[in-house]
C-alpha cells in the first residue's frame, strides 16, 4: 500500500502484511511499516496522529494482523517521541542498517 497526500505534506511507503508477497512464510498476524514521512511545516498539527490512525485502520481491515512492526531512526528524537506517543514500543537496541542509518525496531500491538 502506498499513500501520498502530497509530495509536500505526508507520505508512506510499503506497508506489508506478514503473509504477503514480500514476507512470504512469516506470521500473518504481523505487518511491517517501512517508511512514514511528514514534512516539517506540517508537524505539530495533529496530521501525523490522523494518518497513524488511518494506517492502523487499513491494516486492521485484514482481520488477521495484531502487531505492526517498524524501524525508527535514532537520530530523529521528534519522530521517536511521536511513535511512542501513538503506541509504539522500542524493542531493540540501536541497529546499524545496510544504508548506514541506525534504527530501533519497534512494535505496536493493535
pLDDT of residue 7 exceeding 50, the answer is: no
CB neighbour list of residue 2: distance below 8 Å, 6 or more residues apart: 12, 13, 14
Locate 54 and state its grid cell. 488511518
Helix count (H) and strand count (E) of the chain?
A: 2, 7
pLDDT category of residue 1 using cuts at 50, 70 and 90: very low
pLDDT of residue 62: 78
Domains belonging to the chain, first-starting first, are 3-109 (3.40.630.30)
Q: Give the max Cα distance, the chain.
A: 40
Average pLDDT over residues 47-58: 83
pLDDT of residue 13: 46
Total residue count of the chain as it appears in this document: 110
Burial of 12 (0-12, 13-18, 19+ CB in 10 A): buried
Task: Report the percent of the chain where pLDDT is more than 70.
Answer: 77
Amino acid at each position: 500500500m502506498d499513500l501520498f497526500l502530497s509530495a509536500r505534506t505526508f507520505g508512506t511507503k510499503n506497508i506489508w502484511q506478514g503473509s504477503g508477497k514480500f514476507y512470504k512464510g512469516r506470521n500473518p498476524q504481523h505487518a511491517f511499516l517501512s517508511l512514514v514521512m511528514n514534512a516539517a511545516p506540517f508537524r505539530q498539527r495533529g496530521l501525523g496522529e490522523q494518518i497513524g490512525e488511518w494506517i492502523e485502520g487499513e491494516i486492521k481491515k485484514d482481520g488477521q494482523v495484531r502487531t505492526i512492526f517498524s524501524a525508527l531512526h535514532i537520530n530523529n528524537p521528534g519522530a521517536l517521541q511521536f511513535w511512542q506517543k501513538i503506541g509504539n514500543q522500542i524493542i531493540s537496541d540501536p541497529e546499524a542498517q545496510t544504508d548506514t542509518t541506525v534504527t530501533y525496531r519497534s512494535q505496536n500491538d493493535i
